[in-house]
Every structure is written in structure tokens, then in C-alpha cells.
Amino acid sequence: MKDLQLSGSKQYTVGEAAAMDIYEKISTLSQKMEEESVRIRRDLHKHPETAFLEMRTTVIIEKHLKELGYEVLTGKAVCKEGERLGVPSPEELSLHASEVLGQGISEEDLTEEIREGYTGVIGILRCGEGPVTALRFDIDALGMNEASDMEHRPFREGFSSVNRGMMHGCGHDGHAAIGLGVAKLLMEIKEELRGTVKLIFQPGEEGGHGAVPIVAKGHLDDVDYFIGNHIAPTNSLDDGDVTPGTYGSLANTKYDVWFRGEASHAGGYPEKGRNALVSASHAVLGLYSIPRHSQGQTRVNVGTLHAGTGRNVIPDTAKLEIEVRGEDTEINDYMSGQAESICKGAAMMTGCSCEMKMVGRGETQHSDEELWGRIGNMLAEHCPDLRVSSIPNARNWGSEDISVMMNRVQSHGGLAAYMRTMTDMASPQHTVRFDFDEKVLVNGIRVFASIVYDLNGRQYENTYIQRHDTDHG
């Protein structure tokens, strides 16, 4: 191949020079998407939806992807039937569906499956032979109320939540907007791509509800490269704009626990009652008494306790929402095993019954050095204005159900990376005043599209031969 002299003393091949033009094009196109991605982000921010209620969000993403020409999957084609964890009640689902109809969504848009809470969208771009690359964007909101005063920009500028008890307090509105920007950009450079790109818009990340049914449906089984990203605050551990890989999210299990006893007159016949509130209280104290584990970090939390019906009635029901976490899956299994025996034991002490329902889970995750190293090098070379964090494999102390997807990809020899992109935040994530600097949208679109080009670009057909291209299938 003929060499070209482009700048300085470095020699570039014709292929490399052409590839550099594409990175340039990606950068220019992503800049042009700023206004549109801010508009999409703000619309989603105004209409936040929690796990499996992302009905409006799903319809909007589906429409965008179809307009762009993607092959689009929704409903039970995304989440496997019977595998969703923590699905809202039929009453909550239908109430939310009726609310969504007043928010610019039509009856025909809202299919039966979406109404049943089969939310989430997968967009597929097929470009012939080559690696399968999947990107994951989570789309759900948190169950909390957003601040409503003039100090809070989303309220001041008219895009704060109109859905009571729901708020985009973690930035998934931004993730979805980035995903749609990436979708648009990839279509513009489609001719330069090979292989398959899957854009996974995942419901129910908060609480670990949504990854399991998508994995169960098999969407990760043929994936060679898998990348996810979370926006994160500047001035955190990371010292750059992009951290190409993280590791160590805590494995976790979330339960709803019901204690059921027998109501009775508190003054007349207290001995005839079986007190579910007392059961639950014993359980709470017991859960916080689980011994620590010598091999790693553990967490336990009882988030809610609801019990009883009136002052002079022996409470016949109590419900706890609890979670346990562990540094790895084994330590988390220890914590969940302990939690189960404690709840059952507490019920036995007061003659009540105990039912535990697992409503969410996540595993521990590890980004592959081979992939985050490659992403870091590509960014340093082709996006030199973005600073790559000097701790490229940063520790992650939260929990993330992306772990379930990563582990599935890695189990068949694929490579996975979970990145962070940094931006200024008005207040920490999961707080009522959360908001972020929207410049991260353009950066996110550019970074993801550049990664896809690096992995699936035709220019690299012969220059980058990954073991996955040859070993897979």
C-alpha cells in the first residue's frame, strides 16, 4: 500500500488516511447533532418513566430508529416472556398507559405488548460480513420527585418531570439521547461499516430489572464486542473526559418480602393475632446483623417497611423492600442466603408466613483490558481533544445490571467494556436537583460512533484481525 506523508514525520498508509477522514467526519456530524440531542434529552427528562413503564420512551425511540431505517425490535422480541423482574401491577401498567396517551402518544403506537410493560427497543444495522458489536443505553427513570423551584434548571426552563414520583435523576435521559444520536450518525457512515451493530435501549436498569430478560432472549449470544457507558461527575476518581473501562460493580440481589399473619382485636384478643409487623421488625434487625465476609465487601439495606392497618388492630401484613450486595457473585450469594434464612426465621418466631420475591439482580463486572485498551488508544489518536482518564480501569462501587450482559458476552469469548463519560453535574446522581452539562451528549455520540468505526470500519478489514472475527461461530 502506498504511503502518504500527512503531518510531521509519521507515515500513514492510504487506508489509515482514509480512516482519519471518517473520524473527522464523525466529529463534525456529532457537533451538528447538538441541538437535536439536547431537544430529545429534555423531552425524555420531562417525561420520565420507571422500570417497565417506559412506554412513551419506547415509542419515541422506536419511531426514531424506524425513520432512520433500522431493523427494529420491540415488545416480547426484546424482553423474554416470563423473565422480567419486578414488573409493576396490571393496575399501575394500565394507569401509566392512559397517562402516556395524553403525552403525544397515540393509541396505535401503544401496542398491547408495550401496555403489558414489554418496554425497551433494539435497533439493528446490518452491514454484511464482520463482527457483531452491541451498544447498550439504559432508558429508565428513578422513583422520586424532582425539585420544583427556580434554582433548578429543568424546572426554570420548563423541562422538569411532569410524571409524579418519577424523575430522570441518574442521566438515562442523556444515555437514550446519545443512543439516538449514535443511531443517526452510524446511518451516515453506513457505507464505511461492515458486520452488524445492535443498539440496545434497555428498560429497568435501576433496581436490576431489565438486563436479565434481554440476555435470556439471546440478544447477547452472538456479540463480539459489547460497550456500555454511564455519564459521571467530573472531579470524581476519573481525571479525564472518558474512562474507557471500569470494573468491580457489586453483585446484588433485590427482594420484596411479605410477612403474613392474622389480624385480631389488640385489646380484646391479642393472643389470637399473629403480628406480621413484629416479624418484619425482627427481620430488619437480623438483616443488619449478618456477619461481614472475610473475602470482600458486603452491603445490606432495608429500604422500606410498610405494615398494618390501624392502631388497635394486630397487623396481619408487612412488606419490606430489601437488597444485599457483595464484592463478587459468591459473596453476594452468601448475603442473599443469610437474608433468606433471617426473613424465614423471623416469620417463624411469630407464627407468620414469609414470601420472598427476587425483583432484581446484578452481577460483578470486569471490562476486558484488550477492549478498553483499544478504545483508549483510538481516542488518544483520533479524538485527541478528549482526555482519556489516566486510571483506565477504574473501580466501580455501584451496581449495574449491565454486568449480566457483559458476563454473557464474555462467557463465549466476546469482549466487553463499561465506560464512563464525565460531565459537570448540578447535584449528585439520585438527588432531586440532579442535572448535567449537556455537552456530554455530543461527546458521547462521537465516542460511541468512533468506537463502532474502529471495530466495524471497512478500512480495518485487513489491518485489524481480531481473534473474535476468526474464532467466532
Which residues bind to Zn ion, rule: CB under 5 A? 170
Which triple of cell numbers denotes residue 201? 435501549
Q: Which of 48, 131 has the CB closer to Zn ion?
A: 48
Q: How far is CA 255 from CA 50, 170, 343, 347, in A?
A: 17, 22, 11, 16
For Zn ion, give the closer residue by CB, 41 or 282: 41
Closest contact distance (angstroms) between CB of 172 and Zn ion is 6
Residue 374 CB, shortest distance to Zn ion, in Å, is 25
Q: Residue 217 CB, nearest distance to Zn ion (Å)?
A: 22
What's the closest the beta carbon of residue 460 comes to Zn ion, in angstroms?
32
The H-assigned helical ranges of 350-413 are: 369-382, 402-411
Rounded to a whole number of angstroms, the minimum distance from the CB of residue 299 to Zn ion is 17
For 69, list phi and psi in degrees, rounded to 5: 100, 20
What strands lie across the sheet with 121-127, from one edge to the other? 71-73, 121-127, 195-202, 132-138, 225-233, 415-423, 242-243
Q: Which is nearer to Zn ion, 170 or 447 (CB)?
A: 170
Q: How far is the CB of 233 from Zn ion (least distance, A)?
A: 12
Q: Return phi, psi of residue 384, to 5°.
A: -65, -20
Least Å from the CB of residue 175 to Zn ion = 8
Taking the least distance from each CB to Zn ion, the nearer of 115 and 230 is 230
* Pairing mode of beta strands 242-243, 132-138: unpaired
- Least distance between Zn ion and beta carbon 8 (Å): 41
Nearer to Zn ion, 15 or 174 (CB): 174
In whole angstroms, give the CA distance from residue 209 to residue 254: 9
Nearer to Zn ion, 246 or 281 (CB): 246
CB of 197 to Zn ion, least distance (A): 23
Nearer to Zn ion, 170 or 416 (CB): 170
Residue number with CB closer to Zn ion (140 or 454)? 140
Compute the least distance from the CB of residue 413 to Zn ion, in Å.
28
Closer to Zn ion by CB, 204 or 244: give it: 204
Beta strands 225-233; 245-247: pairing state: unpaired
Give CA–CA dist 21/27, Å, rounded: 10
At residue 287, φ and ψ (nearest 5 deg) are -60, -40
CB of 231 to Zn ion, least distance (A): 8
Each residue of 254-273: b (16+ CB within 10 Å) or e?
bbbbbbbbebbeeeeeeeeb
CB of residue 144 to Zn ion, shortest distance in Å: 13
- Would you say 169 or 414 has its CB closer to Zn ion? 169
C-alpha to C-alpha distances, 116 to 106, 334, 386, nearest whole angstrom: 16, 34, 42
Q: What is the DSSP string of 206-268?
A: TTT-SHHHHHHTTTTTT-SEEEEEEEEETTSS--SSEE-EEE-PPEEEEEEEEEE-B--BTTT
Residue tagged 436490576 (cell numbers): 208
Reported as type and span, the H/E element at residue 451 is helix 439-456
- In the complex with Zn ion, the residue whose CB is nearer, 29 or 211, is 211
CB contact at 8 A, 144 and 168: no
- What whole-number distance in Å separates Cα of residue 101 and Cα of residue 98? 5
Sheet of 317-326, strand order = 298-307, 317-326, 251-260, 353-362
User: For Zn ion, which residue has the nearest CB?
Assistant: 170
d(CA 425, CA 233): 6
In this complex, which beta carbon is closest to Zn ion, that of residue 192 or of residue 238? Answer: 238
CA distance 406 to 444: 20
